[in-house]
Amino acid sequence: MKSFGKLLLQLFLFIAFAGIAEAQSPDQQLIVRWERGDAAVKTSLHPAVQRRWLAKPLHIELLTYPDPASCALAQKKLASHRGVRALEFNQVVSFRADPNDASFNEQRDNFDRAGYRDAWDLTAGGSTIENQDIVIAILDAGFDITHEDIQPNLWINPHDVPNDGVDNDNNGYVDDRHGWDMTGDDPNLPSDNHGTQVIGLLGAKGNNGIGVTGTNWDTKMMLFTIRTTAHIIEAYEYIREQRRRYNESNGAEGALVVATNASFGIEGGTCINYAVWGGLYDELGQVGILTAASTANRSWDVDDFGDMPTDCPSDYLIGVANLGENDALWRSSGFGRESVDLGAPGEMSFSTIPADRYGSFGSTSAAAPYVTGAIALMYATPCPALLDKMKTDPAGAALLVRDVILGSTRESSSLQFRTSTGGVIDVAEAQRALSLICDGTDLQDFTISSVSPNPAADFAVLETNAIVFSSGARVDLFDVMGRHVSSRIAERIGFNPIKVRVDLVGIPAGVYVVRLSERDRVAEAKLVVR
């Protein structure tokens, strides 16, 4: 009887563990970010059959349930608990792709339009002036890492011994040579057409006499295969930890990851409903990492309809729209005055495809890499001041790079009132702005050089001396007694010099001090309203 009972127990355990192994559908999973010190309440709140940390230092856990109904019940219990900081269902993401019509795929000189050919006269990227490898992290459906034009620019983990079955750098991943396959939980990255196109546009080896070139000729690419939001969160934590180690060891450990590329998302989703995922862009930013994200392949205003992640409000996230010929917003690209920052010429791109082949590439997926590549190229630009800031204030250095990119866009009527900058990426102009800062221009010496018309009625235009200028700057009006009268959002309308338009409708006639605030910079001028 004992042996029979033992056999029954083994059979029961086999069935139980088999059920756990099968319960991997995203509709049976919750992602929870706990408040600190809530380990005691977690177990009693949810009868999860499996729990796994996605980002343990940030208290983010993946909970798996036996079926969707029990998952939904657990979500209701956890949603109102004080120990839960953020909560969301796991979700399959879509990769930004368009129909592969011949008219979509004709090659154009997009690098010229994005300012890369002029920028490459100064640097083609790859490393800082201190010879530190610059790393771009890419999350996508898969990659052909054996491609002849990709292999030379793959990131190789210098702190891991390949194929020895040991977690040499103690980061929780064994033999993570080029990154990690989050979908299979192993280092063997599967091949995929979409991801191979993205990394080819970002970092195909340049000037090697074969194939194509990427935005950065010699950059290092860290790769992650993802399918669900849980995969994204775990990949972001891996990336964040690599940069954190780099910062804290002065480059002796980790990797100098400066940007991540997000050519994926959830169309119609919104950051409010994906607070765990969306909250990680600030976490990445704090260690010095920016993210460029393609917006929806839908002809709609994402401010109204939503798009995850481009409608997330993080300063460390740049939303990118897709452009066709003549810098016109592509007919199937999303836009949004609040959520989308700039456009890039994604349509009619040309890139790598699996099996050492090359072909056309389009959609918003192709637009984001032009911006991700620009971030990396800024760190390769000769600018000791940026590198010094990167060491002492990595988050501030990231914001500076963001600002020179967004502050240097080329004006486009197609993007006016449809993006926060109203412009197209211009990498060479961003380099110029960065070089002016490196030549000693003080960013804090911020002034309003003119106000027109003055006196004004319905609006006034403030011209500034700013080299870089982020979206969302605020204008405050004070009367002659110093009392605050109104706050308005500055609408950027000019580029060289930077000008902003202030709506004065509803402001009583009188003399005012107008104060323009852009992050920690403030400038003032007198304004008469009639």
First to last CA, the chain: 99
- Residue pair 374/385 in contact (Cβ under 8 Å)? The answer is no
DSSP state of 276: H
pTM over 0.75? The answer is yes
CA distances from 500 to 395, 445, 494 (A): 26, 18, 7
In this structure, CATH architecture of domain 448-529: Sandwich (2.60)
- In b/e form, how buried is each residue of 249-286, taking b as 16+ CB within 10 angstroms? eebebbbbbbbbbbbbbbbebbbeebbbbbbbbebbbb
The CATH H-level superfamily of 94-438 is Peptidase S8/S53 domain (3.40.50.200)
- Residue pair 338/303 in contact (Cβ under 8 Å)? The answer is yes
> Which of 483, 473, 464, 485 is closest to 529 using CA atoms?
485
CATH 3.30.70 segments of the chain: 13-89
- Residue pair 220/230 in contact (Cβ under 8 Å)? The answer is no
CATH 2.60.40.1220 segments of the chain: 448-529
CATH 3.40.50.200 segments of the chain: 94-438
DSSP state of 166: S
The class (CATH top level) of 13-89 is alpha beta
How far is Cα 430 from Cα 428, in angstroms, rounded to an integer? 5
DSSP state of 375: H
pLDDT of the chain, 530 residues: tens digit per residue: 444 444 444 434 333 434 443 346 888 999 999 987 665 555 556 678 888 999 999 999 999 999 898 898 888 889 888 889 999 999 888 776 532 322 223 333 788 899 988 888 888 899 999 999 999 999 999 999 999 999 999 999 999 999 999 999 999 999 999 999 999 999 999 999 999 999 999 999 988 888 899 999 999 999 999 999 999 999 999 999 999 999 999 999 999 999 999 999 999 999 999 999 999 999 999 999 999 999 999 999 999 999 999 999 999 999 999 999 888 999 999 999 999 999 999 998 999 999 999 998 989 999 999 999 999 999 999 999 999 999 999 999 999 999 999 988 998 999 988 999 999 999 999 998 898 888 655 455 788 999 999 999 999 999 988 766 655 678 999 999 999 999 998 877 765 577 888 999 999 999 999 999 876 678 999 999 99
Q: Which tokens go with 65?
A: 């349930």
